[in-house]
Amino acid sequence: MPRPIRAVIDLAALRHNYLLAKRCAGSARAFAVVKANAYGHGLGLALCALGDVADGFALLDLAEARALRAAGIAQPIVLLEGFFEPADLAEVAALGLTPAIHCEAQLAMLERAAPATPLDVLLKINSGMNRLGFTADNFAAALARLRAMPGVRGITLMSHFARADDEVGIGAQLTVFKTLTAGLDLPVSLANSAALLRFPEAAGHIVRPGIMLYGGSPMPDLQSAEAIGLRPVMTLASEIIGVQEIVAGQQVGYGGSFAADGPMRIGVVACGYADGYPRHAPTGTPILVGGRRTRSLGRVSMDMLACDLSHLPEAGVGSPVTLWGEGLAADEVASAAGTISYELFCALAARVPVSVREA
Per-residue pLDDT tens for 17-74?
A: 999 999 999 999 999 999 999 999 999 999 999 999 999 999 999 999 999 999 999 9
Range 232-249 average pLDDT: 98
The reported pLDDT for the residue numbered 1 is 75
Residue 350 DSSP one-character state: T
Residue ranges of the chain that CATH labels 3.20.20.10: 26-208
* Whether the Cβ atoms of residue 95 and residue 65 lie closer than 8 Å to each other: yes
Q: Which residues contact 140 (CB under 8 A, 6 or more apart)?
A: 180
User: What are residue 164's phi and psi, to 5 degrees?
Assistant: -65, -15
Beta strands in the chain (DSSP E): 6-10, 29-33, 56-59, 77-79, 98-101, 119-124, 152-158, 188-189, 206-207, 234-246, 251-252, 258-259, 264-269, 286-289, 292-297, 305-308, 320-324, 354-357
* Mean per-residue pLDDT over the chain, rounded: 97
Q: How confident is the model over 328-353, as pLDDT tens digits? A: 999 999 999 999 999 999 999 999 99
Question: What residues act catalytically?
Answer: 35, 254
For 234-357, give the CATH class.
mainly beta
Handedness of CA 88, 94, 100, 106 (dihedral sign): positive
In 10 A of CB 134, how many CB atoms?
22
Architecture of domain 26-208: Alpha-Beta Barrel (3.20)
pLDDT band at residue 114 using 50, 70 and 90 as cut-offs: confident
Is-above-0.75 flag for pTM? yes
Please name the residue ranges forming H helices in the chain.
11-24, 35-39, 43-50, 62-70, 88-94, 104-113, 139-148, 171-181, 193-198, 225-228, 330-336, 341-346
d(CA 31, CA 57): 5
CA distances 247 to 262, 264, 271, Å, are 5, 6, 24
